[in-house]
Amino acid sequence: MDVCDASINNRSIYIIMRIIHTADWHLGQTFFEYDRKAEHLQFLAWLKHQINALNVDLLLIAGDVFDSPNPSAESQKMYYHFLREVTTDKPDLQIIIIAGNHDSAARLEAPNPLLEDMNITVRGVVRRTDDGTIDFNHLVIPLDKGGCCLAVPYLRQGDYPTAETYAQGVKAIYEAVFDCVKGTNGPVVAMGHLQATGSEISENDRSERTVIGGLECVSPDSFDKEIAYTALGHLHRAQRVSGRENVRYAGAPLPMSFAEKNNKQGVVLIDINESATMERLFFDAPVRLLSIPGEPLPLTEVLDAIAELSDGEITETSPYLEVKVLITEPEPSLRFQIETALQTKNARLVRIAAVTPKRDTEAKVITYDELQTIEPMDMATMIYKGRYGDEMPETMKKLLLDVIQEIER
For residue 358, pLDDT beyond 60: yes
Give the pLDDT score at 1.
Answer: 35
Residue 326 has pLDDT above 80, yes or no: yes
- The arithmetic mean of pLDDT across residues 168-181, rounded, is 93
Looking at the domain covering 3-282, what would its CATH class be?
alpha beta
Judged by phi (left if over 0) then psi (alpha if -120 to 50, else beta), residue 205 lies in beta
Residue 90 has pLDDT above 60, yes or no: yes
Residue of 239 and 294 predicted with greater confidence:
239
Sign of the Cα torsion 156, 160, 162, 168 reads negative
Of 3, 11, 63, 9, residue with least CA distance to 191: 63
**CA–CA separation, 226 and 177 (whole Å):** 13
- Confidence (pLDDT) at 370: 59
- Predicted confidence (pLDDT) at residue 373 exceeds the cutoff of 90: no
- Write the pLDDT tens digit of every residue in 38-68: 999 999 999 999 999 999 999 999 999 999 9
